[in-house]
Amino acid sequence: MTQTALLPRFDWKIVTITILSTLLLMVDYYHRLLPYKAYDRVLLYLVIPLLVIILVFRESPAEYGFRLGDWKAGLVITFAASAAMTIILWLLLRGDESMQSYYAPLIDGPIPLPLYTLLELIGWEFLFRGWILFGYMRKFGPEAMWLQAVPFALAHIGKPEIETLSTIFGGFAFGWVAWRTRSFLYPFLIHWYIFTLVVLLAGGYFG
């Protein structure tokens, strides 16, 4: 009789991505490492995963969506999604006080708004739509689009309820865009536009 192993055989890269991404999200929640939280998120969600890919995995960041990918499809999807979300967000922000009260104060931050939203999201998108998505896709195939959406949704807890409830679907949609274009760049551009627009609408810009 063959003896059952104490542990199943694991893919060490999947284990590394899972554990480290979870710990990075927790460190972000509990600690401030740099003068501004947005700087922390560049370090935690962009710099550290890239260093792991290059120095530990010995791979190219391009394999994790750090490339232009299918830029023609990416630009079409980015402009179409941004146009659709402009209408949806304008209607949503008009009647949701929780969104207004949460996001309006961000207009007066110490970093100019477009730079602030860029710093907040560039690493965030690479973590979910780059490192986790493409890392998981090797093992789990298209299901990786849903798997990366789960921690993305959970990381929104504490934000306005209507936003948080939508993030499992929004996270999947961003994952699909990254999968379709083979790049995290286009979900980042869409998310950057959405975040910036939400803050402006919440602050009373554009009526």
Instruction: Enumerate the domain spans of the chain.
Output: 12-202
Buried b or exposed e, range 23-58, using 16+ CB within 10 angstroms: ebbeebeeeeeeeeebbbbbebbbebbbebbeeebe
pLDDT for 1 equals: 44
The per-residue pLDDT for range 129-186, each reduced to its tens digit, is 999 999 999 999 999 999 999 999 999 999 999 999 999 999 999 999 999 999 999 9
Confidence tier at 95 by pLDDT (50, 70, 90): confident
pLDDT higher than 70, residue 80: yes
**H/E element holding 124?**
helix 113-126
CB-side neighbour CA atoms (13 Å) of 87: 5
Q: What is the mean pLDDT of residues 93-119?
A: 92
178, 131 Cβ separation under 8 angstroms: no
pLDDT for 2 equals: 52
Q: What is the mean pLDDT of residues 8-15?
A: 93
pLDDT higher than 70, residue 40: yes
Q: What is the mean pLDDT of residues 81-85?
A: 97
Q: What's this model's pTM, rounded to 2 decimal places?
A: 0.94
CA distance 158 to 53: 31
Cβ within 8 Å of residue 131, ≥6 positions away: 17, 21, 49, 53, 64
Confidence tier at 19 by pLDDT (50, 70, 90): very high
Q: What percent of the chain has pLDDT over 70?
A: 98
CA distance 100 to 87: 16
Q: Token pair of 23, please?
A: 């710990």
